[in-house]
Structure 1
Amino acid sequence: MPQTIADAIAQVRARIGSACREAGRPAGAVMLLAVSKTQPAAAVAAAADAGQRAFGENYVQEMVDKAHALAGRGLEWHFIGPLQSNKTRPVAETADWVHSVERLKIAGRLSAQRPAGRPPLNVLVQVNVSGEASKSGCAPDTALELARAVARLPGLRLRGLMCIPEPSDDAAVLAARFGTLTRLQAALQAEGYAVDTLSMGMSADLEAAVAAGSTMVRVGTAVFGARTYPQTEAPQEGSTP
């Protein structure tokens, strides 16, 4: 077991590198997003000291607080949780990326609320590739229409797609779920959209995701260790990175 956050990050990066080699992909093809939800700012600072720059958060106020506490360190904040309409403004003002756009209304609010002085907000359309009622995300057969509409909004930059498949030890199931996202990306690229990001893969299944073409893996427990959830903020089923 790793003794420090720096050791854990090194081990995860080694896993990503090994997965890339196994899949015949170049080194550096897959970015590590360290999921820091429920972790204290001190843990994020330790990861930053180890060279980690991108961090994922599920809870709006927690992301805002950490971004303020760690301002000036050049960190990149990714909002990856379900987003309600009444909480879009602080996300639009603080985040660099949003992975969980599943409705045009949410995208429209992010667009309208993105400060004029900030670069466009990088956004991903979340797709419910497993069809689970407990999961957020649009249906695969509506993803292209939503992505096209999002791409037209000012203040946003459509970067690609995100998914959270059901937990499975079946390699064929994971390949099929991740393959849905890969095919949707290819369809958008064929239409001329510059979608370069597939956010898929977590602590337990990052190797399968890399094999399927992931460009960003969301890893929390393998970096920071087990997390404790407040009783009022249970995680989305199957969503622990």
Structure 2
Amino acid sequence: MSCERLTYAEERALRACERAGRKREEVLLLGASKGVSADRLRKFFQCGLRVFGENRVQEFLKKWEALKDLPIDWHFIGRLQSNKVKYIIDKVSLIHSLDRHSLLEELSKRAENMGKVQEVLIEVNVGGEETKGGVEPRNLKSFFEVCLKDKNIKVLGLMCIPPYREDLEEVRPYFATLRKLRDELEEEFGVRLPHLSMGMSHDFETAIEEGATIVRVGTLIFGSRV
């Protein structure tokens, strides 16, 4: 059953890529694994899923310990408290949710202590929702400029969690906005930002059509979270 669910998600991603005139390898299918047990993640790894994204530090640490015999590429995709950075910075390859100066400073300090450059995405609050994290679009350029000067941090792109909309055409503009913001940063600062992390189980195909390079798919792949 695990392999069937993953195959179904892969097929939908492939069709979305074809509609957009993109190659399937341009889009990373990330398993958003919050609430999914380590045993189930091991089964999905055996089916071919290699990248998992976690939202909660405590839950992630338990899974990391249980699965450290596997060469999993772990991402952190949830809101990250500055005082939790020290627990994950040596265990994740990409942090999707950089959204404030205090977190930038802590990530930089911990990365420097480890002698590494931490790869991150800046989360942008494209929907202006008070309940969600993310840099406001109007503040993005100034925040990015600060990040750009930090030798311990490498920004690879942007991430967003748009407002939920049943009608996917209503969510499309949010994805288009993130892409536009990324393009503007590339042009103004003369840098390459290869990643747009956007789209979840209900809207990832629309996100792919709008340029997503990482889609964070949970329920569609894992179903019930046990």
TM-score (norm 1): 0.88
Q: Which of 119, 138, 141 matches 1:141?
A: 138
Distance in 1 separating the partners of 2:26 and 2:202: 19
Aligned-partner SS, 1:93 = coil
Shift in Å at residue 95 of structure 1? Answer: 1.5
CA RMSD of aligned residues (A): 1.5
Where do 1:1-241 residues align within 5 Å?
4-114=1-111, 119-190=116-187, 191-227=189-225
Contact 1:81 1:99 in 2 (8 A): yes
Q: Which amino acid aligns with 1:74?
A: P
- Taking structure 1 as reference, are residues 26 and 181 closer, same or farther at Cα in structure 2, changes over 3 Å only? same
Contact 1:92 1:115 in 2 (8 A): no
Contact 2:79 2:133 in 1 (8 A): yes
Shift in Å at residue 118 of structure 1? Answer: 6.3
Identical amino acids, percent of aligned pairs: 36
Shift in Å at residue 37 of structure 1? Answer: 1.0
Query: Which whole-Å deviations, capped at 9, do the CAs of 1:188-239 have from their partners, x for residues lacking one?
Result: 21121221000000000011101110000000111111337xxxxxxxxxxx
- Superposed structure 1 runs of 4+ greater than 3 Å apart: 115-119
Q: Which amino acid aligns with 1:93?
A: D
In structure 2, the gaps of 5 or more residues are none
Contact 1:63 1:77 in 2 (8 A): no
Aligned-partner SS, 2:158 = strand
Shift in Å at residue 143 of structure 1? Answer: 1.4
Shift in Å at residue 172 of structure 1? Answer: 3.5
Q: Which amino acid aligns with 1:197?
A: H
Give the number of aligned pairs. 225
Shift in Å at residue 91 of structure 1? Answer: 2.2
Deviates more, 1:211-220 or 1:106-115: 106-115
- Taking structure 1 as reference, are residues 97 and 118 closer, same or farther at Cα in structure 2, changes over 3 Å only? farther
Distance in 1 separating the partners of 2:133 and 2:184: 22
Distance in 1 separating the partners of 2:39 and 2:156: 30
Aligned-partner SS, 1:146 = helix
